[in-house]
Amino acid sequence: MTVASYFLPRSPAEAVEILAARGPSLMVMSGGTVAMPLVNEGISLPEEVMGLRFAGLDRLEVVDGGLEIGATVTLTRLLRQRTVRMLSDAARSTASWTVRNLATVGGNLFTPPPGGDVATALLALDASVTLTGPAGSRTVPLADFFTGFMTTVLRDDELVTSIRVPAVEGGTAYLKFGRKQANTPSVVTVAVRVVRDGGAVTDARIALGAAGPHPILADGARTALVGSRLDDDAIGAAADAAARESEPFSDGIASEWYRRRMVRLFVRRALEQVASAGAGEGR
C-alpha cells in the first residue's frame, strides 16, 4: 500500500474539515518524527496523510505572563523562547537538534513510551490543551488529557490546536536522566514546581515521565510537601511517595526496579534544586 493522497491544509479550519471528511484512517502528521519511522518500518501504512506544517498552528505568544503555544511549534522554537525556562530546558533535553527542528509540541503529547519529555514539563506547569473539531473547540487540563497507554481524550474528529501554559508561579526544576547526551530515551524525567509563601509550601506539582503509561502527577509527593518548609525531611518524604506511586515499567532502557529508584533520586534532586534556589519566582 502507498500513500494515495497527501493533504496540506492552509488553516486550522481546513485541517479539521479534511479530518472530518476523511475519517480516522487519515494519518495526521505534524513534524513526522514519530509518524514517519512507523511508515518507514511498515508498521503504519496509511493511504491518506494530512501534514499540519502549513495549517496556521505555529503561533508562539506570551499571554498574561504565560505562553500560548500552537500545536505545530517546533521544539527548537520552544527551546529558544525565554518566558518559561522549564520548557526551554525540556526542549533542550529532547532528542537532538535535527529532530527538534521538525518535532512539534503537539506531537510530543503523543510520544510513545517512555513518553514525551516536553509533555512532562507541561504537566508540572499546569498546562491545558485546546482540542478542535467540527463542533468547535474545547479546552482540557493536560492532567485530564491522558487516559491510559497511548490513549487520550482526543476524539477521532479532533486535532490538538494549541497548548496554554499559565504564568509560572513558584520555583521550578526539570531533570531528565538518560543513558546518552542526545537522542536518549528517558530512564526517568522529573519536572517540579513548588509555590511557597514565607518559606512554607502552599502548592506543588511533581510530574514524572517514563514512570507510567503517560506523564503522571505524583499527588502523594505533593501532599508530603504542602505545609512543609521544603526541608530535608519533607523532600525525603516527597521522594519516597513519588517512588511508591510511580508506575514504572521495564524496557530496553531500564528495568522497573531501576526506574523506581531513579524516580526517588531525581525527585529528591529536583526538589533540592528548588530549595537551594530560594523562595523566589521561577520561570
Nearer to ligand FAD by Cβ, of 95 and 235: the residue is: 95
Residues in 173-192 that interact with ligand FAD by CB under 6 A: 183-184
Contacts of 237 (CB under 8 A, 6+ apart): 224
If one asks whether residue 86 binds ligand FAD (CB under 6 A), the answer comes out as no
Contacts of 21 (CB under 8 A, 6+ apart): none
> Among 107, 170, 212, 220, which residue sits at the site for ligand FAD (rule: CB under 6 A)?
107
Contacts of 149 (CB under 8 A, 6+ apart): 113, 213, 214
Nearer to ligand FAD by Cβ, of 152 and 172: the residue is: 152
Residues in 1-40 that interact with ligand FAD by CB under 6 A: 28-35, 37
Report CA 220 to chain centroid distance, whole Å.
Answer: 20
Tell how strand 128-133 and strand 159-165 pair up: antiparallel
If one asks whether residue 159 binds ligand FAD (CB under 6 A), the answer comes out as yes
Shortest approach of ligand FAD to residue 67 CB, angstroms? 16
Measure the CA–CA gap between 237 and 241, rounded to whole angstroms.
6
Considering only CA atoms, give the Rg of the chain.
19
If one asks whether residue 246 binds ligand FAD (CB under 6 A), the answer comes out as no
CB contact at 8 A, 113 and 210:
yes
Which region among 59-67, 100-108, 165-173, 211-219 touches ligand FAD (by CB under 6 A)?
100-108
Measure the CA–CA gap between 87 and 93, rounded to whole angstroms.
10
Shortest approach of ligand FAD to residue 112 CB, angstroms? 8
If one asks whether residue 116 binds ligand FAD (CB under 6 A), the answer comes out as yes
> Among 16, 67, 73, 103, which residue sits at the site for ligand FAD (rule: CB under 6 A)?
103
Q: Nearest to ligand FAD by Cβ — which residue?
A: 107
Measure the CA–CA gap between 226 and 221, rounded to whole angstroms.
9
Q: Is the dihedral of CA 195, 197, 201, 202 positive or negative?
A: negative
> Among 9, 46, 66, 106, which residue sits at the site for ligand FAD (rule: CB under 6 A)?
106
Which region among 2-10, 111-119, 195-203, 210-218 touches ligand FAD (by CB under 6 A)?
111-119
If one asks whether residue 234 binds ligand FAD (CB under 6 A), the answer comes out as no
CB contact at 8 A, 187 and 175:
no
Shortest approach of ligand FAD to residue 83 CB, angstroms? 19
Measure the CA–CA gap between 275 and 267, rounded to whole angstroms.
12
> Among 87, 91, 160, 210, which residue sits at the site for ligand FAD (rule: CB under 6 A)?
160
Nearer to ligand FAD by Cβ, of 165 and 275: the residue is: 165
Q: Of 70, 119, 265, whose CA–CA distance to 187 is shortest?
A: 265
CB contact at 8 A, 56 and 11:
yes
Shortest approach of ligand FAD to residue 120 CB, angstroms? 8
Residues in 62-81 that interact with ligand FAD by CB under 6 A: 71
Measure the CA–CA gap between 227 and 12, rounded to whole angstroms.
44
Which residues here bind ligand FAD, judged by CB under 6 A?
28-35, 37, 52, 71, 94-95, 99, 102-104, 106-108, 110-111, 116-117, 159-160, 183-184
